Structure 1
Amino acid sequence: MNIKRILKRLIEEKFSLAFIFTRLIMKLGVSPPFVFKTNGIKLKLHPSAITMELFRKKYSIDYDKFIIDRFVCENSICIDVGANIGHLSILMAKKAKNGIVIAIEPQFRIFKFMIENICINNVNNIFPLNAAIDEIKGVKKFYSLANADDQSSFVINMHKHSNFKEEKVFAIRLDDLLQAFSFSKVDFLKIDVEGAELFVLKSLGEFIKNVKYIWFEFIEENYKKFNYTKKEIFEFLTLNEFSLFFLNDKKKIQPIVDITEIKDDFMGNLLAVNNKYKNYIYSNPCAE
């Protein structure tokens, strides 16, 4: 145990009781019988990175909520790839009251937390799925980070991370999944898979033409772990007749004409819009 490092962190956090409490929960791996509210949803106080950050108000989902509120409609079919504890899936489900949300999370421990969160929010239109999404289906190695389970992935930097657990997960293609559900379209697709975003998109195959809106994590540092660049994902979406948009600090949706407009150190999400639905993004997407 590095006492100096712990003391430095405590000083940085100004000996916050909330910080100490959440660190104890993470260290012990226990789930106290508490529920807290954030962004209009309830969450159980589970020992997970995102739960702790939301509880301490150190992690914001304001942009996610803005996009969900705008582009998810009452009858929407939504897919949440990398659903984690289900916080965004629940927001989608509350908006798509007569629709459905497929919430996909590969980490079994986090998946169980998601199930509990779904139950306490009394939403019955979420279908949870414990699996990974990839271009190539099959059983794969997946690395879960002990103190940063929101950064778990198929690929890990073992020089940077030493405290991780390797588990086997079953990976499926999105087009196979959507065919199994007999979906003819997807209204809203959210992707947060720590760098494997391009492979999730490729797993759609020809079905990508039937997806309206894609809200995906855009971090080139993560893409590099999988040996591709931001230019490649931009070109893939453009080739499949999607236009990219950026949500600025004032929550204004701005078009991206050239990928060089996005700085290399950008860490956030972009919105990809099927060109057939571009005319709706500045009006009312739910009025189409």
Structure 2
Amino acid sequence: MLEKIIKKITFHTKLILNHPNSLRLAIGYFFLLSGISRFLKIKKGNYKINFSRNVLALNCFVDPNSRNEEELIIKSLLKSGDTYVDVGANIGTLCLASFKNINNLSVYAFEANPNTFKTLERNFKLNQLYDAHTYQVALGEKDQEITFSNIGTDDQNGVVKEGISYKRTLRVQMKKLDQVVILPKISLLKIDVEGYELFVLQGALQNLKNCAAIYFEYSPINTSKYNYHPLEIIKLLESLNFSIHIPIFKNEEIVLTQFLPSNHESDLNLLAINNNSQQSFNKMDYQSIN
């Protein structure tokens, strides 16, 4: 037991010392360990979140600009009256950034980990997002009970494949998105589920017919945990008549570059646009990769 405690202290001490904002990180750890964080709110843009025991909350305390580019991209893809579906919503920051900037936005948030889900709901309540549709469920390709990781780096929790052991796990329900809800229109579907993206899409084929755009993570490292390459995601989406792009927020607009699989073996976020959709993305600047 003592050896584990020493290892943990050593790990976090090195993390603090090597961090570019070490003082702020040390203060954040102090607030969390002392319990003071329970009384604190973190302001991020025009919304606030509770200073909860979540990696993302700690990152936002240390750097309020954390994940700003993602927030800008998501907000730029939405307009008044749209429907935003967030799969792997974590503590709700992307939902809140969109809700606070887009009028009459319909929000559907899915988070499998029950502890993280409680924080998400608290953050929604803090920002008066009362009419969001929230679901504490994992999304995938079938209806079943699964093992889900419950590690300290909660932003990396995900479905645990059979035969893989984690120190901390819990059992949660998995469903297809098409089982949970069929929406007449999805303006933007965001998926960040640590490599399980392909199976989420396989369980959402009915909804994808009505989906204008999908913002998702392309990660060979994460998908390898489930024995597939993220190019399978690309093939599935292209078969459904989606075109694949790399989005970058630049000069107050999104610049889209063509995604060429041969050039990318590292992690990045991609945007799939439904070529059958009536939703306009005219404000985007399209470029090609030379």
Give me the TM-score of the superposition, normalised by structure 2. 0.85
Distance in 2 (CA, whole Å) between partners of 1:16 and 1:158 is 38
Match of residue 258 from structure 1: 260
CA contact (8 A) 1:35 1:45 kept: yes
Distance in 2 (CA, whole Å) between partners of 1:178 and 1:75 is 18
Equivalent residue for 2:29, pick from 23, 47, 54: 23
Equivalent residue for 1:151, pick from 146, 150, 156: 156
Distance in 2 (CA, whole Å) between partners of 1:283 and 1:14 is 36
- The superposition leaves residues 170-205 of structure 1 with CA deviations (integer Å, 9 ceiling, x where unpaired) of 1111112223xxx21211111110000111111112
Match of residue 242 from structure 1: 242
- The superposition leaves residues 124-163 of structure 1 with CA deviations (integer Å, 9 ceiling, x where unpaired) of 33122111101111211111112x000001137999x96x
Query: Following TM superposition, by how much is the alpha carbon of 1:6 offset from its aligned partner in structure 2, in angstroms?
Result: 4.7
Structure 2 vs 1, CA of residues 239 and 126 (structure 1 numbering), >3 Å: closer, same or farther? same
Structure 2 vs 1, CA of residues 154 and 28 (structure 1 numbering), >3 Å: closer, same or farther? farther
Match of residue 70 from structure 1: 76
Query: Following TM superposition, by how much is the alpha carbon of 1:274 offset from its aligned partner in structure 2, in angstroms?
Result: 0.3
CA contact (8 A) 2:195 2:223 kept: yes
Distance in 2 (CA, whole Å) between partners of 1:33 and 1:156 is 37
Structure 2 vs 1, CA of residues 30 and 219 (structure 1 numbering), >3 Å: closer, same or farther? farther
Match of residue 124 from structure 2: 118
5+ residue gaps, structure 1: none
Query: Following TM superposition, by how much is the alpha carbon of 1:28 offset from its aligned partner in structure 2, in angstroms?
Result: 6.7
Q: Secondary structure at the match of 1:122?
A: coil
Structure 2 vs 1, CA of residues 260 and 14 (structure 1 numbering), >3 Å: closer, same or farther? closer
Match of residue 198 from structure 1: 198
Distance in 2 (CA, whole Å) between partners of 1:225 and 1:109 is 23
Equivalent residue for 2:180, pick from 150, 173, 177: 177
Match of residue 36 from structure 1: 42
Structure 2 vs 1, CA of residues 14 and 225 (structure 1 numbering), >3 Å: closer, same or farther? closer
* Aligned residue pairs, count: 276
Match of residue 287 from structure 2: none
2:238 is aligned with 1:233:
no
Give me the TM-score of the superposition, normalised by structure 1. 0.86
Structure 2 vs 1, CA of residues 26 and 80 (structure 1 numbering), >3 Å: closer, same or farther? same
The percent of aligned pairs where both chains have the same amino acid is 26
Aligned Cα RMSD in Å? 2.7
Q: Secondary structure at the match of 1:68?
A: helix
Query: Following TM superposition, by how much is the alpha carbon of 1:118 offset from its aligned partner in structure 2, in angstroms?
Result: 0.5
User: Which letter does structure 2 place at the counterpart of 1:172?
Assistant: K
User: Which letter does structure 2 place at the counterpart of 1:62?
Assistant: N
